[in-house]
Structure 1
Amino acid sequence: MSGSDFLIGYGSLLSAYSRQTYSNLHTPVIPVMVTGWQRGWTTRYGDEVATYLGVRPAEGVTLSAALVPTQITDELRHRERGYDFTPVERDAIRLLRPGAAESELEAARFWIVVNREQIHADETHPIPQSYIDTCLLGCLETGGREMAEHFIDSTERWDGHRVNDRDWPTPLYPRGTPSSATQRAEIDALLRGAGI
């Protein structure tokens, strides 16, 4: 895979802090909507006691995401262990800010990481608030409130067990983005507004 590869980031890769700190990805991202994929709380790693985001193919469904210019390195593969790197056709991707990036994407290849199993969160593998915060902070910085609301509304399986690990000495999510009291309040208001 070459420098013309883009990873479709639909979870923590939306967050610049998480991308830069834990995957050494410093290039600006491109906000997009991707047709044909359903995001949900459906992924686990054998070495972590939490449930994370995954995707599954779903006709007519749209996924708010970001194109992350990258090379598919061993570091990135480790971050995305438990997922398969799956190609996505260019016509499934709509830029949220059309412009100069379009010509850059003409010859590019696009990849989405697809979890191998669809697993529901439970008490021993909850959805960590630290991960929710990281994803929603990424949405807010990448596509604003509209992207954050779409993320919440279009993600399935919010009914899985969740835990508020924000103030734990070691949060469950190891690649989290630090959040301020103001940011936490905004995230909580978004979740409440969606009935979550």
Structure 2
Amino acid sequence: MKHPHFFGYGSLVNRNTHSFTPIHASQIAGWRRIWQRAPNRPAAFLSVIVDSDSVIDGVIAPVPNDDWVALDAREFSYARLAVTDAVRHAAIDVRDISIYAIPPSDAAPPDKDHPILLSYVDAVLQGYLREFGEAGAERFCTTTEGWDTPVRNDRADPIYPRAQRLTETEQTFVDDMLLTLRAKVFA
């Protein structure tokens, strides 16, 4: 039986942040990741924008019982868009695929008052490290726009509701990547 699937490109790549299964590594063409904020969120989150020259890694997973309610609630502030033909994957039970993006009319650039949360970066990069290895996590960083956004170090007291505990190796990778990207991390 075929099911609708979502394409995850941020924290949904991290299996520890949800219970959707099975997960399949995949790629989407024509979209680029960007740090943005929505008016009803206190921090910047990942979104995607159309970019005909871009291909990004992510995952697809089925929506349980074809019921989008829980996933739509998790991804509030985002619009759900059909992207079936843009996604390359090896899954066999796919009916259609959707992606979540902040609508351009609602998107705003992040700033110091609406920073990226380090606890969110940790969850996302842990997922990429585990699904795609170091090369995949590095690709994530180089194919994501907006690393000049301030990053709030909330690791000791995470604000992100699905924060993950990193191994020492994962934390070193994240910290080194943020240095390489010249991210402005503040306490």
Tell me the TM-score normalised to structure 1 length: 0.83
Task: Give, in angstroms, the shift of residue 181 of structure 1.
Answer: 2.8
| 5+ long unaligned stretches in structure 1 | none
Q: Partners of 1:54 and 1:72 in 2: how far apart?
A: 22
CA distance in 1 between partners of 2:42 and 2:168 (Å): 26
Q: Percent identity?
A: 29
2:151 matches 1:152: no
Give 1:13-162 correspondences, 5 Å limit.
13-20=12-19, 25=20, 27-44=21-38, 46=40, 48-70=41-63, 71-90=66-85, 92-95=86-89, 98=90, 101=91, 103-105=92-94, 108-116=95-103, 117-162=106-151
> Kindly tell me: are residues 53 and 72 of structure 1, through their superposed partners in 2, closer, same or farther at Cα, counting changes over 3 Å?
farther
Do the aligned partners of 1:50 and 1:172 also contact (CA within 8 Å) in 2?
no
Cα distance in structure 1, aligned partners of 2:23 and 2:39: 26
State the partner residue of 1:166: 155
1:182 to 162, 169, 177: 169
TM-fit CA distance, 1:195: 4.3
Query: What is the rounded CA distance, in whole Å, between the counterparts of 2:54 and 2:115 in structure 1?
Result: 25
User: What SS does the corresponding residue of 1:137 show, helix, strand or coil?
Assistant: helix
- Superposed CA deviations along residues 75-130 of structure 1, whole A, max 9, x for unmatched, are 2111111111100133x2223xx5xx3x434xx20100111233211121110000
Kindly state the Cα deviation for residue 178 of structure 1 after the two structures are TM-superposed. Answer: 2.0
Runs of 4+ in 1 over 6 A off after TM superposition: none
Would you say the 8 A contact 1:32–1:64 is kept in 2? Answer: yes
Scaled by the length of structure 2, what TM-score is found? 0.87
Residue-pair matches, total: 179
